[in-house]
């Protein structure tokens, strides 16, 4: 009974006068909000009211663009499942204007290193991009020693200066040695920052049955890792003519992956490659030499390049070298 | 490369200050006339319909005047497209606006023109005049300071020049740039569609108003339906207009931080939109046609290079999906591996 009375009273009171109370309350609230808004507007300058409080704001406006500076990057291509060579097609050394190979550099000699830089963006050019050159002691993963920095600019795809060439002079150390040259394209707001570091690391080894050489591996991570060396006979295949690419259509990427699949470039039959320690562990910051012996098949003459890639237990490429075995 | 642009600027010779009282009177008068026409139509149908058309005409004039002003009438063209490079002082997102201000859903950024730096370095999300250096066009290093100088294109109209966005910034080197959202443009179209519906329903309502006994009720229902439909069109358009964060864009794009160096390229204009309410006016890039981050403040030589390369990017045909014989067109891995080269050979380093 109480509930019925309450129900009836609620209905009647709202019909009689409470609706008016609600409306008055609502109007008061609106007035308060309006006054506060007016006060805020008066006291806080518009530019401050409108400014976002965050120091980092996402932007996806179609007129905002990111470039994609790139170079032949072994780590990136390997991550995509492609075979790589350490004879980098985008890095070339010159001595007195003549191209020279990086495997036999004279000590205390001034070379020019040229890096071919690309921009894989249709929308965003790059101006004043720092290009940093450095070198490692022969081998994989050692600490970079700075050579120098220059700046270059890249147009969009189809535009001017794409590719463009960054050049730096480099006087080799006075002690003879072998060096891995690294080129890094420094662009903070990069659509794909993974393809910005290329390395040139080649060696020529005379085969005195067998050919013997070694290279240094360094663990640059903060944790201990277990490393292994894998060899393959990959070289960059000849470029595809435009007409052929057109015919491939949607199958192009599949064909390119197949043409550059490491499984298709095993060490050829008759060649024997051995390591003193094929698998080894390195503590954080640790380094060691890896000794390699390459025995060519009987009767072999000429030259044959091999890539020696160093992976850790996660299959992350740590470094490598392309060694050309020669026998006259 | 295509870019999004919804506004235009007005040559100084064609500029007229916005007459808000007149436009408001025309709009309200038009609506009142259309309502009054219903009563008139009950007695004299033809006169009612004529009054509907007259009221509709006033309303349309108010709509067109308002939106044409917002979409370009308020912007005085200065000297074509310009480049502006500077560090981010503050960011004004579309979502930071409220009320009627939210109609303008542009994404705005305030930059400090290179080579200037704040007097006291900070990473505050707002900026004060006291922390900004004065402009000095006599110094050749300040090659961008002309952007924040009052121009004759605006001064000849006797309208205020304050810098963004009040008098203390008149001599400062902060510069306002705006990436456009689509809401004003979309709402313009929505209002025109709603207006057309309203007029059509008003004519129909005036026609049925003469029916004895139930005519007024039918007319009222028709007008309410027409108004509701128009409001729905406007509301849906408001809610769905593009404020610069469409989902179909590359998710890897991007973030802007306070103090980032930005390169912007767009139409250099004077914004008279706040001449009346703030007694303020300033130069700005509106719209920004190209925006990107840079590694460093450019000097005048590098700025020319930026401008050339951006111009090239804006005007070059888009090769995406084209059969252009360029090694990077269609390349996924590296042009040496999968690029199309006209000679069938990988491009040679030189």
β-strand partners of A211: A294
Mean pLDDT of B242-264: 72
Please report the DSSP string for B126-175 in residue order: S--GGGSPBP-TTSTT-TTGGGGS--HHHHTTT----SSSSGGGTTB-EE
Chain B residues within 8 A of A118 when measuring between CB atoms: 328, 334-335
Q: Are A278 and A229 in contact (CB under 8 A)?
A: yes
Across the interface, which of A114, A116, A128 has its CB nearest the CB of B302? A128
Is B294 an 8 Å CB contact of chain A? yes
Q: Do B257 and A159 touch (CB under 8 A)?
A: no
pTM passes above 0.95 = no
Distance from CA of A158 to the nearest CA of B (A): 7
Distance from CA of A61 to the nearest CA of B (A): 4
| Mean pLDDT of the residues in chain B | 87
pLDDT tens for each residue of A66-119: 999 999 999 999 999 999 999 999 999 999 999 998 887 888 999 999 999 999
**What does the angle CA B267 – CA B268 – CA B270 come to, to the nearest 5 degrees?**
125
Could you give the C-alpha distances from A39 to A24, A318, B179, B192, B274, in angstroms and in order? 22, 62, 29, 35, 19
Q: Report residue B5's pLDDT band, with 50, 70 and 90 as the boundaries.
A: confident
Q: Do A53 and B330 touch (CB under 8 A)?
A: no
A63 sits in the region (left: phi over 0; alpha: psi -120 to 50; else beta) called alpha
Mean pLDDT of A271-276: 91
Q: Do A63 and B287 touch (CB under 8 A)?
A: yes
Is B25 an 8 Å CB contact of chain A? no
β-strand partners of A165: A116
Q: In what order do the strands lie in the sheet with A225-232?
A: A202-206, A317-327, A302-312, A225-232, A279-282
Q: Report residue B47's pLDDT band, with 50, 70 and 90 as the boundaries.
A: confident
pLDDT at B324: 61
Q: In chain A, pLDDT over 90 holds for what percent of residues? A: 55
Is B68 an 8 Å CB contact of chain A? no
Distance from CA of A171 to the nearest CA of B (A): 20
Reduced to 3 states, what is the DSSP secondary structure of residue B117?
coil
Chain A residues within 8 A of B126 when measuring between CB atoms: 47-48, 51
pLDDT tens for each residue of A202-240: 787 777 878 898 888 888 889 999 999 999 999 999 888
- Look up residue A222 and give its two tokens: 């903060």
pLDDT at A142: 64
CA distance B328 to B335: 5
- Look up residue B109 and give its two tokens: 């950024």
Q: Report residue A306's pLDDT band, with 50, 70 and 90 as the boundaries.
A: very high
Q: Which residues contact A232 (CB under 8 A, 6 or more apart)?
A: A83, A262, A265, A266, A267, A306, A307, A309
pLDDT tens for each residue of B80-94: 999 999 999 999 988
- Which has the minimum average pLDDT: A69-83, A185-199, B101-115? B101-115
Distance from CA of A77 to the nearest CA of B (A): 7
Distance from CA of B10 to the nearest CA of A (A): 22
Is B67 an 8 Å CB contact of chain A? no
Q: In chain B, pLDDT over 90 holds for what percent of residues? A: 51
- Which has the minimum average pLDDT: A17-21, A43-47, A195-199, B111-115? A43-47
pLDDT at B225: 87
Q: Which stretches within chain A are classed as H helix?
A: 2-13, 19-43, 46-50, 74-79, 242-248, 252-259
Mean pLDDT of B160-180: 95
Chain B residues within 8 A of A88 when measuring between CB atoms: none
How many CB atoms are closer than 10 A to CB B161?
18
pLDDT at A140: 45
Residue A92: closest CA among chain B residues belongs to which residue? Answer: B349
Mean pLDDT of B139-163: 96
CA distance A150 to B155: 45
Q: Do B244 and A59 touch (CB under 8 A)?
A: yes
Q: Are B48 and B38 in contact (CB under 8 A)?
A: yes
Chain B residues within 8 A of A260 when measuring between CB atoms: 333, 337
Chain A residues within 8 A of B127 when measuring between CB atoms: 47
Q: Are A156 and A124 in contact (CB under 8 A)?
A: yes
CA distance B51 to B34: 7
pLDDT tens for each residue of A119-178: 999 999 999 999 999 998 654 446 788 999 999 999 999 889 999 999 999 998 887 777
pLDDT at B131: 96
pLDDT at A234: 97
Closest among A122, A192, A123, A157 to B327, alpha carbons compared: A157
Distance from CA of B36 to the nearest CA of A (A): 29
Looking only at the bridges linking them, the beta strands covering B174-179 and B282-293 are parallel
Is B314 an 8 Å CB contact of chain A? no
CA distance A138 to A180: 6
How many CB atoms are closer than 10 A to CB B298?
24
Q: Which residues 215-244 of chain B have a CB within 8 Å of chain A?
A: 244
pLDDT at A113: 95
Above 0.95 for ipTM, yes or no? no
Could you give the C-alpha distances from A74 to A146, A269, A316, B344, in angstroms and in order? 20, 26, 11, 23
pLDDT tens for each residue of B273-304: 999 888 999 999 999 999 999 999 999 999 99
CA distance A65 to A295: 52
């Amino acid at each position: 009974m109480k509930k019925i009375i309450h129900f009836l009273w609620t209905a009647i009171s709202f019909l009689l006068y409470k609706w008016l109370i609600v409306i008055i309350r609502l109007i008061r609230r609106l007035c308060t909000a309006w006054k506060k808004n007016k006060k805020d507007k008066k006291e806080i300058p518009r530019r401050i009211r409108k400014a976002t409080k965050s120091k980092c704001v996402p932007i996806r406006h179609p007129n905002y663009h990111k470039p994609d500076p790139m170079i032949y990057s072994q780590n990136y291509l390997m991550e995509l499942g492609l075979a790589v060579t350490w004879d980098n097609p985008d890095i070339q050394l010159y001595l007195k204007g003549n191209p020279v190979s990086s495997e036999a550099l004279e000590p205390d000699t001034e070379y020019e290193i040229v890096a071919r830089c690309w921009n894989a963006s249709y929308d965003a050019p790059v101006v004043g991009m720092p290009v940093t050159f450095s070198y490692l002691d022969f081998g994989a993963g050692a600490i970079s020693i700075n050579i120098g920095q220059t700046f270059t600019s890249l147009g969009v795809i189809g535009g001017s200066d794409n590719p463009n060439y960054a050049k730096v002079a480099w006087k080799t150390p006075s002690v003879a040695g072998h060096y891995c040259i690294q080129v890094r394209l420094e662009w903070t707001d990069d659509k794909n920052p993974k393809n910005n570091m290329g390395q040139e690391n080649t060696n020529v080894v005379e085969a005195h049955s067998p050919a013997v050489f070694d290279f240094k591996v360094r663990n640059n991570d903060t944790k201990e890792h277990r490393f292994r060396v894998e060899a393959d006979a990959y070289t960059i295949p000849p470029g595809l003519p435009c007409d052929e690419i057109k015919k491939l259509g949607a199958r192009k990427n599949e064909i390119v992956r197949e043409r550059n699949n490491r499984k298709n470039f095993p060490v050829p039959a008759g060649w024997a490659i051995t390591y003193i320690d094929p698998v080894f562990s390195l503590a954080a910051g640790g380094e060691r030499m890896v000794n390699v012996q390459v025995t060519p098949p009987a009767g072999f003459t000429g030259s044959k390049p091999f890539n020696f890639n160093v992976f850790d237990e996660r299959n992350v490429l740590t470094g490598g070298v392309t060694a050309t075995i020669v026998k006259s | 490369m295509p870019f999004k642009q919804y506004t235009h600027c007005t040559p100084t010779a064609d500029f007229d200050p916005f007459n808000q009282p007149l436009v408001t009177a025309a709009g309200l008068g038009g609506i009142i006339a259309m309502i009054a026409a219903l009563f008139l139509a009950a007695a004299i149908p033809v006169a009612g319909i004529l009054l509907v058309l007259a009221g509709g005409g006033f309303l349309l004039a108010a709509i067109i005047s308002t939106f044409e002003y917002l979409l370009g009438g308020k912007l005085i063209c200065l000297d074509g497209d310009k480049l502006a490079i500077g560090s981010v002082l503050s960011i004004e997102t579309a979502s930071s606006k409220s009320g009627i201000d939210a109609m303008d859903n542009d994404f705005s950024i305030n930059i400090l023109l290179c080579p200037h730096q704040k007097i006291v370095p900070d990473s505050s999300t707002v900026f004060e005049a006291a922390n900004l250096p004065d402009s000095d066009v006599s110094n050749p290093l300040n090659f961008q300071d002309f952007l924040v100088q009052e121009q004759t294109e605006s001064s000849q109209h006797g309208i205020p020049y304050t810098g963004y966005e009040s008098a203390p910034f008149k001599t400062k080197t902060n510069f306002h740039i705006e990436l456009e959202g689509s809401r004003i443009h979309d709402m313009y179209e929505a209002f025109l569609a709603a207006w057309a519906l309203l007029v059509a329903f008003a004519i129909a309502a005036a026609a049925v108003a003469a029916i004895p006994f139930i005519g007024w009720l039918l007319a009222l229902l028709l007008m309410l339906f027409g108004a509701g439909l128009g409001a729905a069109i406007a509301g849906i358009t408001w809610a769905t207009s593009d404020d610069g964060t469409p989902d179909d864009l590359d998710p890897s794009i991007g973030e802007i931080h306070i103090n980032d160096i930005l390169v912007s390229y767009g139409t250099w204009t004077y914004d008279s939109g706040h001449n009346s309410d703030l007694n303020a006016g300033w130069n700005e890039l509106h719209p920004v046609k190209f925006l990107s981050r840079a590694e460093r403040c450019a000097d005048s030589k590098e700025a020319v290079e930026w401008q050339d390369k951006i111009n090239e990017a804006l005007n070059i045909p888009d090769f995406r999906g084209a059969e252009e014989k360029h090694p990077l067109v269609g390349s996924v891995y590296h042009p040496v591996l999968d690029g199309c080269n006209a000679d069938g050979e990988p491009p040679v380093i030189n």
